[in-house]
Amino acid sequence: MNDTATRDPELTRERILEAAHGLFIDKGFAAVTMREIAQRSNVTKSLIHHHFGGKEALWDAVKEQAFARYYLGQKEELDQAEKPGAELLMNGVIRYFEFLRDNPKVVRLFTWAHLEGDKSCSHLDSELVGLGAKRVRQAQEAGLLRADVNPTHVVTMFISVCTNWFESRDHHRDWPGMGSDDEFLNDFLKVFMEGLLPRSDRIAG
């Protein structure tokens, strides 16, 4: 079954995970069979059981790996400490939007996980959102953003818009008058950022 002459359990696990990842994200957990995963990863069905234990355990492993990668990437993004403010928030939104645009699979993974009530990633997400909200709060305290809105809500808003844009992309692509990714992001930033400015800036601007 293996192409390579030598045994490489690490590589085998990797190949299984990759095949399972692709199939689960395309068709959802229930619609994928172990036989498909075995065939795509050039491995025996029994070997998948040997390495991962079962279908559910494999799905958990796939999610765990994907969530971990997502978490590390976003954490790195957030840890680039700049002085908080409107510009930082805007750049954060842009980077998040572009991250989802370049990693469409992660959106589908989260969506599947939400639909089936998975909570295994909640604590990781909590931490990221907490970090983002902290930045917003700092900007509010510095008078750079309006202070009468909940920072967590602000983060949730932009995550929602970015996520839903790519989640429903195929669906609303042909809505009448719909623009490109960049055009939509631009319009969103116009509305969102100006809606977040503090009163004084709005009067001055």
**What residue ranges bind DNA (CB under 7 A)?**
1-2, 5-9, 12, 32-36, 43-47, 49-51, 54-56
In the chain, % helix, strand, coil (3-state, to 5) comes to 75, 0, 25
Residue 126, CA distances (Å) to 120, 137, 169 in order? 11, 16, 26
> Counting contacts by CB under 8 A, is residue 35 touching a second copy?
no
Angle, CA 102 vertex, CA 72 and CA 132 arms, to 5°: 45
Give which of DNA, a second copy, none residue 141 binds (C-beta under 5 to 8 Å, depending on kind): none
Q: Which is nearer to DNA, 47 or 133 (CB)?
A: 47
Q: How many residues bind a second copy (CB under 8 A)?
A: 60
**DSSP 8-state assignment for residue 144:** S
Which of 82, 87, 182, 194 is the binder for a second copy (CB under 8 A)?
194
Question: What are the two backbone dihedrals, phi and then psi, of residue 54, each rounded to the nearest 5 degrees?
Answer: 175, 180
> Counting contacts by CB under 8 A, is residue 71 touching a second copy?
no
Give which of a second copy, DNA, none residue 192 binds (C-beta under 5 to 8 Å, depending on kind): a second copy
Stretch that binds a second copy, among 42-50, 76-84, 96-104, 175-183 (CB under 8 A): 175-183
CB 142 within 8 A of CB 85: yes
Interactions with a second copy, residue window 90-119 (CB under 8 A):
108, 111-112, 114-117, 119
In the bound complex, what is the minimum distance in angstroms from residue 14's beta carbon to DNA? 10
How many other β-carbons are positioned within 10 Å of the β-carbon of residue 106? 19
